[in-house]
Amino acid sequence: MSSDSEVNYDSAPVAEAELDGIDYRIDTGRQGTALCISSRASGTWDWTFESEARWDGSSLRSKVIERPVLVKLSEALRAAMVDI
């Protein structure tokens, strides 16, 4: 996946988090087999696709996203899964 046109930003994200003035969201991608991470500056409207990520049941993995962001998003995803 290489463009945000493959992410439906009109639907609710799987999880969201904010870190250092940047909003992040996790959406399903590629027929539900991967997760997509997007970001935007807090207070703005336009999302930018950042990377696909893999979920191993406890943490997200991505070669593109920095570790502190992945830790924060992993916490948000675990919390979202509890609410299901």
Whether the full predicted model's pTM is greater than 0.85, yes or no, is yes
8-42 pLDDT, tens digit each: 898 899 999 999 999 999 999 766 668 999 999 99
Q: Rounded to an integer, what distance in angstroms lies between the CA atom of residue 38 and that of residue 52? A: 9
What is the torsion angle, in degrees rounded to the nearest 10, for the CA atoms of residue 36, residue 38, residue 16 and residue 7? -50
Q: How many CB atoms lie within 10 A of CB 76?
A: 21
Q: What type of residue sits at position 42? A: S
